Structure 1
Amino acid sequence: MGAEGEKQEVHVLVVAFSSQGHINPMLRLGKRLTSKGLRVTLATTEIARTRILSHLAEKSTTTDTTIAADAAPTTTTIYSVSGIRLAFYSDGLSLDYDRKNNLDYYMETLQKCGPINLSNIMQTLPKFSCIITNPFVPWAADVAANHNIPCALLWIQPCTIYAIYYRFYNSLNSFPIKENPEMSVELPGLPLLHTQDLPSFVLPSNPFGSFPKMFSNMFQSLNKFKWILGNSFYELEKAVIDSVDELHPIKPVGPLVPPSLLGQDPSFDIGIEMWKSEGTCMEWLNQQNPDSVIYISFGSITVLSSKQMENIAMGIKSSKFGMDGEGVVNSEEIESCIKEMTSGPRGEEIKKKALKLKQAARDAVAEGGTSDRNIQAFVDEFIAVSCN
């Protein structure tokens, strides 16, 4: 690309599933793209509008009140946060519909109505040079194709999970089946994996409905995406990232986390809090000694496997984790793990490794770091594509 001023005309649309854990990595990636001189709009469904705008109001964030003509004879207010525009489209259901307890129907409706309504709001905005979507809204790639716009996928889980799913859904390796549910799995770039080490979607006992089918379709159609970006950094997952390089490469551009975790000013965080934090929890935390509390998030539908817990513990043997018969780590073993992580020689060793990885993460996102270079290469590539 030529002069810096020309980059200001490059407009990127990022499409996020209406969940805080999906929106925030997209916003943080968008922030890094704006630092490269690009314009960014984040689109998500109307169900997230109220919570997002309430957060902005509480933070006293100014809003961009630009009015854009809608496809319907109405007007749409375009808000922004830290220079990233926000746009909202209907998922085809009323705002009071219980999506959480009707998840399969919700995902089906979103897949049916989302493309139409997303296309409609795209007509009200400047032309896009690239669309970035995430795994829960893979149909955005079809919208991009219909508009002749290149599309990227931001994989928000570890690259390790991407590699496992890619090999599973494309039948490249053997995985547990009903006839042999306890078989071990050997994959390039990874240690030997046992049943309890694998994500639940690839197990014959998988309890989820629409998500495995959606992932299956997506991983068998990755050619729809010109780029796969990962919320990780190369130094953390070298072997597994290299292992898929000749299959369908994933380029880490993270970690897309709050700036405070990277030694940066926390006031610059662009993340949205769609749920109010519990004040008493923060009061309690502030009373504890430094480095004395471990926070573990189990997600909405994803349960940490013993191998993921083992990685968190930086090398504690998987035999430390007892299973309750349902493939879930029991409380006694978690307590044992936490004690070993926080006290004694083992705890000190873990802390040193964690600090080393923390510095590696900071280096990766710093100017000239591996993730920063991957973002710049991605920007240069899609600008070149859009100019052809």
Structure 2
Amino acid sequence: MGSLDEQERIKQPHVVVFPFPIQGHINPLMEFAKRLVCRNVHVTFITTQKIREKMIQAQDGVAAHVTSAFHDIRFETISDDLSPDFEETKDIGMKLDLLNKVGVLTFERLIQRLNSQGHTVSCIVYDPPLNWVPHIANKLDIPSAFFWTQSCAVYSICYHFYQGMVNEKDETENVMDVIAIPGLPQLCQSDLPSFLQPSNTGDPLLPLVMNTFSTISQATWVLGNSFDELEMREFQSMDSLIPIRTVGPLVPSAFLDGNNPQDQDVGIHLWKATNCIDWLNKKAASTVVYVSFGSLAILSNEQIKEIALGLKASRHSFLWVIRPDLNKEENNNVHDSLKDFLEETIDQGLVVSWCPQMAVLNHPSVGMFFTHCGWNSTLESLSSGLPVVTISQCSDQTTNSKYIEEVWKTGIRLNKIGKGLVGRDDVEKSIWTVMESEEGVELKKNALQWKILAKKAMVKDGSSDKNIDYFIDEVIARMVGT
């Protein structure tokens, strides 16, 4: 009979977490990994070698600091043989193809190596674009969890389209403007994810997203970054099809449930974050407009200039995250094109390349969030109790914007007109509405209610907290049964 330490080691689950290697997918899976570790689960987090290098560079090259920030999460890398094109391309399809070419073999070898080191892998939590992972998991007799990084609403929409369960045309074969999906509000074609809209025929995201469902039946669990109170009808409507278990919102603990006050940042940044808190500390409460379009969105120079002019005209202080690659035009530094604007608004605003978003959203001086409405940013705004203005760009952002304005009632969505742009006047007017009008007061009130419910889901015995416990218990049960 083994020692007590050996027995405890055998009982401790070992979960491998494998996100698609882009910032928006890494963030929620890293937060999920942290919550597993806090429950005495051994976690190995998988990245590519290049992502690991970028992460360390963004943390000033201090690898020890990076490690200490992740609560003893073990990092492993795969795909050292990826070509430089992998990190440089913004084409998600190309990135996925490049990863798949070498990822399948290197990932399987990695799992076998981890098993041989005495702490057998108990479960693999994988990002749906990596739809070859459950095949490897089944081959190695390891249960897997399909981790959906978008909303339950978008999960339901995509699944219904994948199964051919959506009636898009009437008796005369004309495309209907209204789409009916069980458990969801009435949707217009423009409310669907962009890759499902008839006007975007040939969108390269469509086959990528649809392919993610091709292996879902091989997964033991489906987990989602949402919470019951936010999307009760949506996830319940999937119970008879492919149930999804909510485990979010997955944001740093210090800003939500408070279980880990030291957890104040996701910890992985692919760009060096600017410390803008000192600047925010000098601003009065609820006076700053925070503007960020995430890690992938690409805007035209014309759209960036319209936003700039709207911000300037609003006369409100602003903090604007402008990645060096935010604009569409190649070899054109967006900061150079905004030189006059930056000089004219030097006392009004601050422009940075990247920042710790949850710290900003929870700063008392910030009064609203101007966003592309990606799912991470949507959950972060709800968890922070901030009203938003949305300019959706692609993918699920159109659906998220619909919910923000019409279902959760925490913001205003701006629609592109004319040359496909949101104009400066609409930008200025929306800021005034949120920051100064009675409608804005109501949006803020609604946002604060969602913050309360988000916290309720993640504290002890909350809906998501219990779902995480159930998941771990089921993983352990399978370990005992083997």
- TM-score category of the 2 structures, normalised to the smaller one: 0.7 to 0.9
1:277 aligns with 2:252: no
Going from structure 1 to structure 2, the CA distance change for 1:325 and 1:245 (only over 3 Å counts) comes to farther
Q: How does 1:14-93 map to 2 (within 5 A)?
A: 14-55=17-58, 61=64, 81-90=70-79, 92-93=81-82
1:229 aligns with 2:223: yes
Instruction: Provide the secondary structure at the position in 1 that maps to 2:103.
Output: helix
247-256 or 259-268, which deviates more:
259-268
Going from structure 1 to structure 2, the CA distance change for 1:81 and 1:261 (only over 3 Å counts) comes to closer
Residue of structure 1 equivalent to 2:403: 311
Instruction: Provide the secondary structure at the position in 1 that maps to 2:121.
Output: coil
Q: Output the CA distance in 1 between the equivalents of 2:411 and 2:286.
A: 23
Going from structure 1 to structure 2, the CA distance change for 1:106 and 1:268 (only over 3 Å counts) comes to closer
> Which of the numbers 293, 299, 304 marks the counterpart of 1:297?
293
Q: Is the 8 A contact 2:410 2:447 kept in 1?
A: no
Instruction: Provide the secondary structure at the position in 2 that maps to 1:228.
Output: strand
> Which of the numbers 157, 164, 167 marks the counterpart of 1:174?
167
Instruction: Provide the secondary structure at the position in 2 that maps to 1:165.
Output: helix
Instruction: Provide the secondary structure at the position in 2 that maps to 1:124.
Output: helix
Residue of structure 1 equivalent to 2:475: 382
Q: Given residue 160 of structure 2, which amino acid in structure 1 is its aligned partner?
A: R
Residue of structure 2 equivalent to 1:128: 121
**CA offset at residue 124 of structure 1?**
2.2
**CA offset at residue 356 of structure 1?**
1.2
**CA offset at residue 331 of structure 1?**
5.2
Root-mean-square deviation over aligned CA pairs: 3.1
262-271 or 367-376, which deviates more:
262-271
Structure 1, unaligned runs of 5 or more: 65-78
Residue of structure 1 equivalent to 2:135: 142
String of CA shifts for 1:223-257, please: whole Å, max 9, x gaps: 01111111111111111111111111111101111
Going from structure 1 to structure 2, the CA distance change for 1:262 and 1:37 (only over 3 Å counts) comes to same
Moved over 6 A (4+): 325-328
Going from structure 1 to structure 2, the CA distance change for 1:101 and 1:19 (only over 3 Å counts) comes to closer
Q: Output the CA distance in 1 between the equivalents of 2:425 and 2:213.
A: 37
Structure 2, unaligned runs of 5 or more: 298-392
Instruction: Provide the secondary structure at the position in 2 that maps to 1:219.
Output: coil
> Which of the numbers 96, 102, 105 marks the counterpart of 1:107?
96
String of CA shifts for 1:72-127, please: whole Å, max 9, x gaps: xxxxxxx9832110000016422465642554333222123211111122222132
> Which of the numbers 7, 10, 17 marks the counterpart of 2:13?
10
Q: How does 1:349-364 map to 2 (within 5 A)?
A: 349-364=442-457
1:268 aligns with 2:271: no
**CA offset at residue 295 of structure 1?**
4.2
Q: TM-score, normalised by structure 1?
A: 0.83
Residue of structure 2 equivalent to 1:158: 151
Residue of structure 2 equivalent to 1:71: none
Going from structure 1 to structure 2, the CA distance change for 1:140 and 1:208 (only over 3 Å counts) comes to farther
Q: Sequence identity, in percent?
A: 33
Q: TM-score, normalised by structure 2?
A: 0.68
1:204 aligns with 2:189: no
Q: Output the CA distance in 1 between the equivalents of 2:151 and 2:45.
A: 22
Q: Output the CA distance in 2 between the equivalents of 1:198 and 1:7.
A: 46
Instruction: Provide the secondary structure at the position in 2 that maps to 1:289.
Output: coil
Q: Output the CA distance in 1 between the equivalents of 2:255 and 2:477.
A: 33
Q: Given residue 348 of structure 1, which amino acid in structure 2 is its aligned partner?
A: V
**CA offset at residue 168 of structure 1?**
1.1
Residue of structure 2 equivalent to 1:72: none
Instruction: Provide the secondary structure at the position in 1 that maps to 2:262.
Output: helix
Q: Output the CA distance in 1 between the equivalents of 2:40 and 2:292.
A: 36
Q: Is the 8 A contact 1:176 1:203 kept in 2?
A: no
Residue of structure 1 equivalent to 2:372: none
**CA offset at residue 25 of structure 1?**
1.2
